Structure 1
Amino acid sequence: MSVALSVSHDAPYSALRIALFSGNYNYVRDGANQALNRLVGYLLRQGAQVRVYSPVVDEPAFAPTGDLIGLPSLAVPGRAEYRVPMGLSRKVRRDLAVFAPNVVHVSSPDPSAHRAVSWARSRNLPILASVHTRFETYPRYYNLAFIEPLVEALLRRFYRRCDALVAPSESMAQVLREQRMNYDIDIWSRGVDRDLFHPGRRDLAWRRELGVADDEVVVGFFSRLVMEKGLDVFSDAIDELKRRDIAHRVLIVGDGPAREWFGNRLPDAIFAGFQSGENLARAVASMDVLFFPSITETFGNVTLEAMASGLPVVVAAATGSESLVYDNRSGRLIRPGAIREYADALQAYIADPALRAAHGAAGEARARDFSWDRINQVVADTYLRLIRQHAQR
Structure 2
Amino acid sequence: MKVVLLAESFLPHMNGVTHSLLQTLRHLERRGHDALVIAPRSGPIDHTLYGARAVLLPSVPLPSYPDVRVTLAGAHRLAEVMRAHDADVVHLASPFVLGWRGVLAAESLGIPSVAVYQTDIPSYAERYGVPGAAPALTRHLGRLHRRATLTLAPSSSAVERLESLGVDRLRLWRRGVDTERFSPDRRDDAWRRALAPNGEVLVGYVGRLAPEKQVEDLHAISTLSGVRLVVIGDGPSRAQLERLLPDARFTGFLGGDELARAMASLDVFVHPGESETFCQTVQEAMASGVPVVATGRGGPVDLVQNSANGWLYRPGDLDDLRDRVRDLAGDGAKRRAFGERARDSVAGRGWDRLGDELIGHYEAAMGRATVTTADAAASPPPGRASNAASAPHAPTRRRWRRYVAIGDSLTEGLCDTSRVPAGEYRGWADRLAMLLAVTGSANEPVAYANLAVRSRKVRDAVEVQLPQAAELGADLVSVLIGANDLVGRRADPEGLARDLGQAVSRLRSTGCDVLLVTPFLPRRPVTRFYARRFRAYNARLRELAGATGSMLLDVDAHPDLVDDERWAEDRVHLNAAGHRGIAYAAARVLGVRDASVLGELDRAVHEQEEEFARTAVGDAEWLLRHAVPWVRRRLAGRAAGDGRVPKRAQLLPVIVPATERTSRTAPVAAAQRAVRGE
TM normalised by structure 1 equals 0.89
The size of the alignment, in residue pairs, is 370
Match of 1:34 in 2: 19
Shift of 1:61: 6.6
> 1:382 aligned to 316, 336, 361, which one?
361
> Is the 1:164–1:184 contact (alpha carbons within 8 Å) kept by the matching residues of 2?
yes
> Is the 1:29–1:61 contact (alpha carbons within 8 Å) kept by the matching residues of 2?
no
1:324-350 CA-partner distances (Å, limit 9, x unpaired): 111111001112111010011011111
Shift of 1:88: 3.4
> Is the 1:168–1:320 contact (alpha carbons within 8 Å) kept by the matching residues of 2?
yes
Distance 1:93 1:377, change over 3 A: same
CA distance in 2, matches of 1:246, 1:211: 13
Shift of 1:178: 2.4
Verify: 1:221 aligned to 2:205, yes or no: yes
Unaligned segments of structure 1, at least 5 residues: 1-15
Distance 1:340 1:61, change over 3 A: farther
- Which deviates more from structure 2 when the two are superposed, residues 354-363 or residues 139-148? 139-148
Match of 2:187 in 1: 202
Match of 2:600 in 1: none
Shift of 1:94: 3.5
> Is the 2:209–2:235 contact (alpha carbons within 8 Å) kept by the matching residues of 1?
yes
Shift of 1:170: 2.6
> 1:45 aligned to 7, 22, 30, which one?
30
CA distance in 1, matches of 2:45, 2:236: 17
> 1:189 aligned to 161, 164, 174, which one?
174
Verify: 1:105 aligned to 2:88, yes or no: no
1:140-159 to structure 2, matched below 5 A, reads 140-159=126-145
> 1:306 aligned to 256, 276, 285, which one?
285
> Is the 1:28–1:61 contact (alpha carbons within 8 Å) kept by the matching residues of 2?
no
Match of 1:342 in 2: 321
Aligned to 2:367, the other structure's residue is in SS state helix
Verify: 1:87 aligned to 2:73, yes or no: yes
CA distance in 2, matches of 1:88, 1:300: 31
Match of 1:252 in 2: 231
CA distance in 2, matches of 1:287, 1:391: 44
- Which deviates more from structure 2 when the two are superposed, residues 95-104 or residues 316-325? 95-104
Match of 1:4 in 2: none
Distance 1:390 1:112, change over 3 A: farther
Shift of 1:109: 3.0
Distance 1:253 1:90, change over 3 A: same
> 1:267 aligned to 246, 252, 266, which one?
246
CA distance in 1, matches of 2:369, 2:105: 16
CA distance in 2, matches of 1:164, 1:335: 33
> 2:264 aligned to 261, 285, 294, which one?
285
Match of 1:368 in 2: 347
CA distance in 2, matches of 1:391, 1:290: 40
Aligned to 2:14, the other structure's residue is in SS state coil
1:41-68 CA-partner distances (Å, limit 9, x unpaired): 1112212211110012333473434111
> Is the 1:167–1:173 contact (alpha carbons within 8 Å) kept by the matching residues of 2?
yes
> Is the 1:26–1:64 contact (alpha carbons within 8 Å) kept by the matching residues of 2?
no
> Is the 2:196–2:202 contact (alpha carbons within 8 Å) kept by the matching residues of 1?
no
> Is the 2:28–2:35 contact (alpha carbons within 8 Å) kept by the matching residues of 1?
yes
1:221-257 CA-partner distances (Å, limit 9, x unpaired): 111111111112222x225xx3xx5331111111111
CA distance in 2, matches of 1:162, 1:93: 15
CA distance in 1, matches of 2:155, 2:309: 18
Verify: 1:176 aligned to 2:159, yes or no: no
Match of 1:118 in 2: 104
Match of 2:648 in 1: none
- Which deviates more from structure 2 when the two are superposed, residues 201-210 or residues 273-282? 201-210
> 1:322 aligned to 298, 301, 304, which one?
301
1:154-196 CA-partner distances (Å, limit 9, x unpaired): 111111111110111233222221232x112112211111111
- Which deviates more from structure 2 when the two are superposed, residues 192-201 or residues 79-88? 79-88
> Is the 2:11–2:43 contact (alpha carbons within 8 Å) kept by the matching residues of 1?
no
Distance 1:98 1:140, change over 3 A: closer
1:67-86 to structure 2, matched below 5 A, reads 67-86=53-72
Match of 1:231 in 2: 215
CA distance in 2, matches of 1:61, 1:225: 23
> Is the 2:79–2:109 contact (alpha carbons within 8 Å) kept by the matching residues of 1?
no
> Is the 1:29–1:62 contact (alpha carbons within 8 Å) kept by the matching residues of 2?
no
Shift of 1:388: 1.5
TM normalised by structure 2 equals 0.53
Aligned to 2:304, the other structure's residue is in SS state coil
> Is the 1:71–1:89 contact (alpha carbons within 8 Å) kept by the matching residues of 2?
no
CA distance in 2, matches of 1:115, 1:72: 15
> Is the 2:35–2:53 contact (alpha carbons within 8 Å) kept by the matching residues of 1?
yes
CA distance in 2, matches of 1:373, 1:328: 30
Aligned to 2:5, the other structure's residue is in SS state strand
Structure of larger gyration radius = 2
> Is the 1:26–1:63 contact (alpha carbons within 8 Å) kept by the matching residues of 2?
no
Shift of 1:270: 0.8
Verify: 1:163 aligned to 2:149, yes or no: yes
CA distance in 2, matches of 1:153, 1:345: 37
CA distance in 2, matches of 1:206, 1:247: 17
CA distance in 2, matches of 1:142, 1:269: 24
Aligned to 2:144, the other structure's residue is in SS state helix
